[in-house]
Structure 1
């Protein structure tokens, strides 16, 4: 990874190396680990890279483990650890409702007057959960969870709501979202 140029970083991690390093700096307080007498800790950058690789590619845990020289269970543990750190450290800092007047002005300049954001949901395919599997089958016939996102006139996320089963209707997800409560 140290010899890759920006194109290699974009192709493999879907971000530039400087963005990766900034992400590692932000996540360091939550992810810093100390070596023990039994074994050295996996370096922070390697753990973030493992998680991002898994999130950015359809590779299996085994394949990602081979890529980084760790076991399958380590890939799973690192992935959950990094995702939790992203949620706790970055979600409120990076995804927040912007100034509505500037967003409306931006949409008006694009030909959409009186628009405060673009809202939509997407289905993220998942494996069938062992319990309540029928609740996760969406209208297209596969198991999924729904991600609802609000973006501003520049396409930047201003709000996300994730975790609803694939069977849930978009209106129900919106009614129960933080965004809906805030707008009321």
Structure 2
């Protein structure tokens, strides 16, 4: 009897020691991970600070006519740097690096925005040319550097830089939305469906829906509403991306803590898709049935007959769910592959216009217009065939604010009845494709 008591006592003591040891190891691991993350953030902060200081030194060098051998065009004073260097000596690579577009596209943009940006000379000062106003704003969108640095670089006041950015973004949204950010016609729908099928391996699909978080400074009101799932403050945008990587629809200006499903259900895209606006009047045939084209979305969106999402893979402990079948797993794999079109489009958007990948210090009422303007500029540059440099993506990968993951939507109250039937048709299609391939 005494031996049993001693054995139980020893077992209890051993269990306690093991649990304490595990807790200590976990605490050390958590502390180490936090320390590593802190050092990474610290290093990123100093790298960005060093980059800003270099830009300011370059700008000061331009202003004081200091001769720098590696970049001879920086020796020109800021008063005529724009007129004498940019307009006459910039090479195609310089236009692409600094303005993120070709010279031809730049002047095309200036001509389109001239009705809204042209100003008259006054008795006190000469108005800035449209080309210079656009260049100032594009430099800000592409680099996200401080207004004072751009002010020194172009020889204008900081308030002028701010006004150029705001006016150009509003002008782009007002004048170019109808050309570069509009609902697709039947020809564009068929082209997108062809690309999704041939390039991304997903048939009868015309677009993918995704979200974009843009980091902001702390707003004066309701700051907690702007905290996203990752914990930092942001403005949330919803985008619909075609098979070519162009944006068809953009909803901006939502606080970062907003549920993406709520944004979708209150958007014009939801109304258009529900009424069949993203499909021809006569729905095309798929697997022998006439059904409308579909779009693809992440797990945070509701399943609809026109919106496909993956089968949930995480199972609740409270309910008994069967594991995913092989055909459902194949469907999920194909859908995740096709969703890369939206991921790559957003990556190119943030890499080209880095005001969306770094913390934006503009006023909160300007940020949504800036997001819309950047999406329109993305479509314009892609449509004009302007080159995209892969090294731009490196800076996006090193940003302080990686895109957060949204919680999967568990409620099925907004799912349509026949949405499961449509998803089963896609499972049948991929199963048939697999059988044909094995034979």
TM-score bin (small chain): over 0.9
Report the Cα distance in structure 2 between the residues aligned to 1:106 and 1:97, rounded to whole angstroms.
18
Matched residue of 1:127: which SS? coil
Calculate the aligned-residue CA RMSD, in Å. Answer: 1.2
**1:79: Cα distance to partner?**
0.9
Report the Cα distance in structure 2 between the residues aligned to 1:94 and 1:46, rounded to whole angstroms.
23
Aligned twin of 1:95: 181
Pair member with larger Rg: 2
Tell me, yes or no, if structure 1 residue 11 matches structure 2 residue 97.
yes
Matches within 5 A, 1:118-133: 118-133=208-223
Q: How many residues align?
A: 184
Matched residue of 2:264: which SS? helix
**1:102: Cα distance to partner?**
2.4
After superposition, what is the alpha-carbon deviation per residue over 1:144-175, rounded to whole angstroms, capped at 9, x for unaligned?
10122111111111111111111112111111
Any unmatched runs of 5+ in structure 2? 1-85, 275-439
Which of the two has greater helix per residue?
2
Higher relative contact order (CA 8 A, sep 6+): 2
Report the Cα distance in structure 2 between the residues aligned to 1:174 and 1:6, rounded to whole angstroms.
40
Is 138-147 or 41-50 further displaced after alignment? 138-147
Displacement over 3 Å in runs of 4+: none
Which of the two has greater strand per residue?
1
Aligned twin of 1:64: 150
Report the Cα distance in structure 2 between the residues aligned to 1:25 and 1:124, rounded to whole angstroms.
29
Matches within 5 A, 1:141-180: 141-180=231-270
Q: TM-score, normalised by structure 1?
A: 0.95
After superposition, what is the alpha-carbon deviation per residue over 1:90-146, rounded to whole angstroms, capped at 9, x for unaligned?
112211222322221221112111211021111011111111111111111111101
Any unmatched runs of 5+ in structure 1? none
Matched residue of 2:206: which SS? coil
Tell me, yes or no, if structure 1 residue 20 matches structure 2 residue 20.
no
Matched residue of 1:116: which SS? strand
